[in-house]
Copies of this chain bind each other. A is one copy, B any other.
């Protein structure tokens, strides 16, 4: 299932056929439809799994370091770990929103709600760091905008160094805004 999720992550929903999925999961057609209802339902499961892992990633970091550091490490990890030689696939939630909006709005909304959760978690980290609730919400919204932007940019052929720099300057701004 991890492989299937990665496939959806990289290629999106429409461009991934069931045949491809079966091959990478190394199971038969019957087994697939026995375990999952639909291609669509299965995609949602993968989407949820992806979101869950992403939230967990931040939560775990938060237990080990100051909250703002945890946030920053989240952005940096997304650009180092996920982008090997194989290239970066961006954020599955962002990808899904842009692919399905105007095609399957329910699906796009589902991904969008996950992004809301992520933004809420950003806010939590910022209040933890001592920001006032209102200000934390503002900053979280800004970080989400930054996230969406950099995830798009990461699917282009822009140099990694440049992204790192953007992250650095953004978080310098965030930190200065908190002190």
Contacts and interface: CB of A to CB of B under 8 A. Distances in A.
B97 A15 contact: no
B156 A141 contact: no
User: How many of these chains are in the complex?
Assistant: 2
Interface in A132-162: 141-142, 144-153, 155-157, 162
Interface residues of A, number: 37
Contact of A152 (B141, B148, B156): B148
Interface in A106-124: 108-109, 112, 115
A59 to B, nearest CB: 23
Interface in A1-25: 10-12, 14-15
Given A15-B14, A102-B10, A145 B149 contact: yes
A97 B149 contact: no
A143 to B, nearest CB: 10
Interface in A68-127: 87, 89-90, 94-95, 97-99, 101-103, 108-109, 112, 115
17 contacts: A11-B102, A12-B99, A14-B14, A15-B103, A90-B101, A98-B152, A98-B155, A108-B156, A112-B156, A115-B156, A141-B166, A145-B146, A145-B150, A147-B149, A148-B150, A149-B152, A151-B152
